[in-house]
Structure 1
Amino acid sequence: MRGRKTENGNRKIKYKIQNHKEQGRNLMFFNYSTDRGFTLIEVLIATLVISIIFLGIFGGFQLIVRVVAQSKASMQAVYLASEKIEEMRGLTFADIKTKQENIVINGIEYNIETIVEEFDDCADGTIEGIDCSGAAVLPDAAPNDYKKMKVRVSWQDFFGGEMVLSSYAAPESMETGEGKGALRVSLSDSLGQPIEILTGDQLAPCPPSSINIINEGCALDQCYGTDTNNPGVRLLILDESLEPDDYKIIVSKSGYARGETFRSGEAYGDSIIATPARKNPTISEGELYPITFIIDPLSDLNINTALAWSGDSFFDTFLSGSKISSMENISITDGQITLATSSPVSYFEAGYLESSSVIPSQITEWYEFEWSDLEDIDTNIAYKVFYATSSSWLLIPDEDLPGNSVGFDVSPVDLSRLNIDKYSELKIRADFLTSDLSKTPILYDWRLSWKNGEETMISDVSFDIRGDKTVGADSDENPIYKYLQTQTSDWNGEKLLPGLETDNYYFSNFTRSGGALNLNNELSPMPFNLPSGTSESFTLYLESDNSLLVKVKDASSAEPVFGAGVNLSNEGLGYDVDLTTNELGEALFLPLQISADYTLEVQAQNYYSQTAPISVSGEDYKEIGIERYE
């Protein structure tokens, strides 16, 4: 039954389709597939890959074009060089000369240098008076035996390059030597060792290492190297001088001092040379002009500008008892020293406090003893200074420290007269007294300071430096120094001078902020000799009649405060200068024109500012302790 029903159903469908066809109706059937098209990302990736491939192909094509063009340029250069050689061969011997020209072919510019050098053949003896075996003979008065012609063709287009061809030419008859002379340039160092310059001959501009011969009258400006067969020497056959001293020589070699000749009237820096120390050669017909240059490796010189001293101190704010050696009837509370209480309502009548021993690791001068305290009516603190002997501590006598026996009550106390050999180890003491047992004096901090042998760098110092060597003298017979410059040290008190030649150097005219400084000649003796081929350091120890070195420290830790602002002012003098402390907490006011009373103000981030009067006379030192915010 099911089979028949299906068959009948199929018949009905076929009938309907047939019926529709008969009625002229067309049925449309859609075939749905699981295949889908390209996404946008796929299209973009495909485009990128194809672009990369075609760019590579195009780049390769461009490279091939450039290589072909470079090959054509090379062949053209060979042709031009050969043509120039043939052209020179067609000239008379006298007309074969050095020259330069530019030519453009197929859009490519070629630079054509024709370099001609004359040679003195040893076969007939040389102008130096030797033959090929080295035996002495009569000097050759006609040294222009033959010429070497070198043609260099260079171009910059495409990959650039050059082509060099050379040939020789000799006179058709016996050379006469008319209008020709010779120049022999010898190069050596101070030890007599030859200095070689392995540079091919070429027209100016010269490479960093070369022997440059210049004669404006002969239109000569050419660069040479030394002879490979005769190290450190170059013999040149040149035209006779048209006027005296007309052949200028400049010897340069990378990393070595420069050698140079001059003529009268030539400018050197801001000066005009009237009498050269080394004149330009004059080439005479049939004669040899020998000249020797001594050039040594260059050196580097690092200049430091500094004070010969710095300062340090023993400083105690009593936040701990680590710097106290002994005490009696004394109380320490929150960094304040007071008399201890004998009962809840009264203090002891007397007490004392002694510091631990103070032994500076470096010291050139004891400076001062200062403190900060509060003494009410009927109270007193007397301060004394002791020194160590081999067996005990003794009070420094009044003859060395006046007033020490009775004690000091005015801060600061000058210690600069103390002999540092005798008084190498000190201790300070405070004697507390009160006649009113309800009151006590208070000690907040004390400080014992000294100067030491450490340097304090001085920034922004201008100075002149000159060497001993001269290039000549001016019309007033004043020397014109080869090296004379004005330099300035940087913020760290340093100035590097690279590439100086060996010489004795002198320093002078020291200024800072418009004020003059003096050189300590004992610590910085003049001249300073700079050896060749080294890297040296030299410190200029400077001083002035009046100066102030300020060192800012954290009042609690005694560590230096970096970046603190320090202002020193005197309204009457019109002096108002702001400085910033360095990593050592230092600010140096130098020079100060006259001894005077100033106001010193210190400010730093996260610290309380502090202002104090200060009297400056001579080379003064001041330490300031500032307190951090709670």
Structure 2
Amino acid sequence: MHSSVGERGATLLDAVVGTALMLIVFIGIVGAFRLTVMVVSNNKARAGAVALANERLEYIRSLSYSAIGTVGGIPAGTIPQTEPVSLNAVDYTRRTFVSYEDDPGDGIGGADSNGVTADFKAAKVTVSWTVRDGVHTITLITRISPPTGVEASVPGGTLSINVQDSLAAAIQSAQVRIINSSLTPNINLTTFTDAAGNATLIGAPAGAGYQVVATKAGYSSAQTYSASSTNTNPSPANLGVSLNQTTASTFAIDLISTKTIETYLPVTRATTTEPFTLDSGIASSTKITVAGGVARLTADAGAYPASGMFISTLVSTSSLVRWQEFSFVHLKPSGTNIFYRIYDANGTNLIPESQLPGNAAGFTTSPVNLSTVATSSYAALTVHATLTTSNASNTPSIDSWSISDDSGPSPLKNVALTLRGTKTIGSGPSGTLYKYDNQSLSSGASGSVTVNDLEFDSYTVGVAASTTRVISSACDPQPEALSANSTQTTRIYLSPYTTNSLLVDVKSAAGTTIPNASVRLFRASPAYSTTITSDSCGQSFFSGIAAGTGGSAYSIQVSATGFVTFDSATVNVSGTSRLSVILN
């Protein structure tokens, strides 16, 4: 017998489908087997953890009431706070925490009916282990009452620690570490806050020097500080505990944040000039001759044509911010004229009247304001010049033309920077000590540096003394508040350092910056008068000026459309100076 081609194809397809189904079933069986093994292993490990926790609790119950405590704990004892334990080839970590507790049955704290807050001891044993799907933990807690059943006061006081976030909301499960090496036995323990953000330690031995550190995974930290040769006046200082008194302290922590600092050269004014020394600046022309540093009509047999024209090469710049002005120098004998028009990059479309009034008719008077031309539509320009004469013996001529623009900012590499917060930790011989004070940052090869793990605070970006530049503009005035759990980018613009300079920022009463404000700095003697329009950050930078203080101080006048003009005759300039002006 012979089988047909269709029958052979069907048989092959059946085999492929059957194999695929068997593979799926096999994978399912393997997955189920692995899951079963994992569950059995976890259950076995959990049983071991429970056994270890019970073992520790039974040991604690076997001790006398006064002996129940941990090494470095409150109350003190001989039980290790943390210890590695192996059981049935599983590695565990066993943690024991013992504390005095206040029974609400007879009142809490100051409301306790008999004045004894150390009503009983609580022992918490936590055992953790790691398997492939993560860390597992079990916790067992027991209560140990005084042997006579009668409460008795314990020597010492109470430490009451509250941990909250930047908005004063309670933080649960914050880690609180308490260290005091000046006491015997030493204290070195870790506890965690409850739902109200509190960690209370009853029976803390009386004495000074309790260092407290509060933190949480992914959060900042807050702590007390010891006095030292560099921090002679710590703040907050380590806590003290007095007999039968409560020492309370609050610590603020929150999720950490990230700050990126970018360094730039400021927006600069550039000018493109065509001097007509050659005809390289002309893309095309009709009846135009360039010679002797001028462009003029081309004479034919001693007579000049009625008109001629040329189109310039492309005028463009990188990082264009705005066009400024078009200017020209020309000579127009009697009966002659020159008309200038501004076109797009292709040289075919005239910039419309809506953006450049007078462009259609042609400009005859220099300079021409180009700041109204949108750079988003016209990132490059060309100049069309039409030369005319009604006298064949005369020709107009153009000596030069120029187009100025503002361009930038461009990244500035490898700038040595500083970053300082406003939170302090005390003071010493060198002055105020700041919690965060990084004096060795660099913007690197990209002109940018990112600082991670910053806590909520207000930070000031500065330029290291070793650099040869100074901040001439920053849209984010310093210091700048950094919120918890946020990402922030600060851009600063740097100019060459001069011995004396003044950075003026102009703001409204609402605190918003005011760009395009007119800022005039002047004085009579030694004579000085300069006006600088505030940039997009609302700032004007005066560099290379002489110092002026007291009787030789500068005057300033600041005006902006819609605001009352600001005047002051007492602007002191000495070194790198700064002035904030509020316009109403």
Is 1:232 the counterpart of 2:194? The answer is no
Distance change >3 Å, CA 487–CA 366, structure 1 → 2: farther
Question: Kindly tell me: are residues 234 and 55 of structure 1, through their superposed partners in 2, closer, same or farther at Cα, counting changes over 3 Å?
Answer: closer
SS in 2 for 1:279: coil
CA distance in structure 1 between the partners assigned to 2:255 and 2:132 by the alignment: 39
Q: Which residue of 2 aligns with 1:450?
A: 404
Q: 1:181 maps to what in 2?
A: 157
Q: Summarize the alignment of residues 120-199 of structure 1 with structure 2, pairs less than 5 Å apart.
A: 120-127=102-109, 129-131=110-112, 140=115, 142-156=116-130, 161-173=136-148, 174-192=150-168, 194-197=169-172, 199=173
Displacement of 1:482 in angstroms is: 0.8
Aligned match of 2:252: 294
- Does structure 2 retain, via aligned residues, the 8 Å contact 1:462–1:487? yes
Where does 1:485-504 land on structure 2 (aligned, <5 Å)?
485=438, 486-504=440-458
Native 8 Å contact 1:385 1:428 kept in 2: yes
Cross-structure match for 1:113: 95
Rounded to whole Å, the distance in 2 between the matches of 1:472 and 1:297 is: 24
Counterpart contact for 2:296–2:387, Cα < 8 Å: no
The aligned amino acid for 1:252 is: T
Give the letter aligned to residue 150 of structure 1. Answer: K
Deviations 1:590-618 (A, max 9, x none): xxxxxxxxxxxxxxxxxxxxxxxxxxxxx
Tell me how far apart the structure 2 counterparts of residues 277 and 115 of structure 1 sit (CA, whole Å): 30
Of 475, 493, 506, the residue aligned with 1:541 is 493
Whether contact under 8 Å (1:359, 1:426) holds in the other structure is no
Q: CA deviation at 1:89?
A: 1.0
Unaligned stretches of 5+ residues in structure 1: 1-49, 132-136, 200-208, 266-270, 322-326, 372-382, 397-414, 547-630
| Cα gap change, 1:544 to 1:529, in 2 (>3 Å) | same
Counterpart residue identity of residue 280, structure 1 = N
Distance 1:520 1:342, change over 3 A: same
Change (3 A) 1:509 1:161: closer
Match of 1:309 in 2: 267
Contact 2:413 2:445 in 1 (8 A): yes
The alpha-carbon distance between structure 1 residues 91 and 540, as it changes in their structure 2 partners (threshold 3 A), is same
* SS at 1:236 equivalent: strand
Say if 2:154 and 2:203, in contact at 8 Å, map to a contact too: no
The Cα shift of 1:530 comes to: 3.1
**Aligned equivalent of 1:92:** 64
Whichever residue aligns with residue 232 of structure 1, its letter is: G
| Identity score, percent | 25
Count of aligned pairs: 415
Q: Secondary structure of 2:95's match?
A: strand
Q: 1:446 to 1:111 in 2, by over 3 A?
A: same
Q: Structure 1, residues 338-363: CA drift from partner, whole Å, max 9, x if none?
A: 753514xx78599876879x999965
Code of the aligned partner of 2:159? L
Q: 1:455 to 1:156 in 2, by over 3 A?
A: closer
Determine the C-alpha separation between the residues in 2 that align with 1:175 and 1:421. 85
* Cα distance in structure 1, aligned partners of 2:139 and 2:84: 15
Q: CA deviation at 1:125?
A: 3.7
Distance 2:132 2:385 in 1: 88
Which residue does the alignment assign to 2:180? 215
Q: Distance in 2 between matches of 1:298 and 1:110?
A: 31
Q: Which amino acid aligns with 1:240?
A: P
* Residues 367 and 182 of structure 1, relative CA distance in 2, 3 Å threshold: farther
Match of 2:222 among 259, 267, 272: 259
| Alignment counterpart, residue 319 of structure 1, candidates 275, 283, 297 | 283
Per-residue CA distance 1:422-480 (angstroms, 9 max, x = gap): 9xx99897999xxxx9xx9x99x976242427523322222011011111123x15112
Shift, 1:261, TM fit: 1.1
CA contact (8 A) 2:340 2:362 kept: no
> Measured at CA, do residues 455 and 69 of structure 1 come closer, stay the same or move farther in structure 2, by a change above 3 Å?
closer
- So what's the TM-score if we normalise by structure 2? 0.57
TM-score by structure 1 length? 0.53
Q: 1:56 to 1:122 in 2, by over 3 A?
A: closer
* Secondary structure at the counterpart of residue 152 of structure 1: strand
Contact 1:311–1:449 under 8 Å retained in 2: no
User: Is the contact between residue 313 and residue 447 of structure 1 (CA under 8 Å) also seen in structure 2?
Assistant: no
Q: Is this contact kept in 1: 2:192–2:199, CA < 8 A?
A: yes
**TM-fit CA distance, 1:510:** 4.2
Query: Could you tell me how far 1:297 is from its partner in structure 2?
Result: 4.7
Structure-2 change in CA distance of 1:510 and 1:349 (3 Å): farther
Match of 1:586 in 2: none
Q: Which letter does structure 1 place at the counterpart of 2:118?
A: N
Aligned amino acid, residue 65 of structure 2:
F
- Asked whether the 8 Å contact 1:143–1:180 carries over to 2, the reply is no
- Any idea what SS the aligned residue of 1:76 has? helix
Cα distance between partner residues in 2 of 1:500 and 1:537: 13
